[in-house]
Amino acid sequence: MLGLSAGLHYPKFTSSIIRLNVGRKGFIQGVSNSNFTTAHQMPNASSIADTATGTKTIQYLQTSSRGGTSHRFQRIYLYFNVSGVSTISSAKLELKFSSPPDANLILIPSTAFGGDGGTALGALDYFVNSDYTSAPYSDSYTVDGTSGVKAIPLSAAGVNAINNNDSFITALIEYDVDEQISDPGSSTNRTTTIDLSSEVVLILQ
């Protein structure tokens, strides 16, 4: 198994299949807010884990009470050093789902971790440094309702990002509300739990 360290450059790999370990893992829980857009986009966080381990959730949560409606988002961020990767034609992100998911996922471009894996995850990475307008790095991924290790196929944009850059950085977010920026208008809990203590790898071909 191949594992690369952040911030270093390596000779180009020529193996037909490469398993590339994640270089950095992070998690941000946004601040709950009664306004959907504010909760979605505010450069603030109630919790940041720069070297995230254990189980972390990708989530959109909307609750209602006498005090009103509250919105909250949780997102996971991954950095891979791909400077040593030759041109590839396909890629998958392999990771472990620790419980049956309740949310569709998508990978979007990000410049978290300073854009090169050398900076701690910060509040601006929550939304400002995540790209909701460019082509996503995967299609919407619907998990089959079971836990365990799954592989998310990367899109052409994701493959191109690996081929053309030294760093591959992505935000894993909930699809139907978060990526679509669409308030469902009623209480809902869309949650998928990822085990970040297990292997997180890119499978490259």
pLDDT tens, residue by residue, 38-50: 999 998 899 999 9
Q: Residue 140: pLDDT band by 50, 70, 90 thresholds?
A: very high
pLDDT tens, residue by residue, 171-195: 999 999 999 999 999 999 999 999 9
How many angstroms separate the Cα of 136 from the Cα of each of 68, 76, 157, 180?
33, 15, 7, 11
pTM: 0.91
Residues paired with 76 in a beta bridge: 27, 172
Distance of CA 80 to the CA centre of its chain: 12
| Predicted local confidence at residue 144, as pLDDT | 82
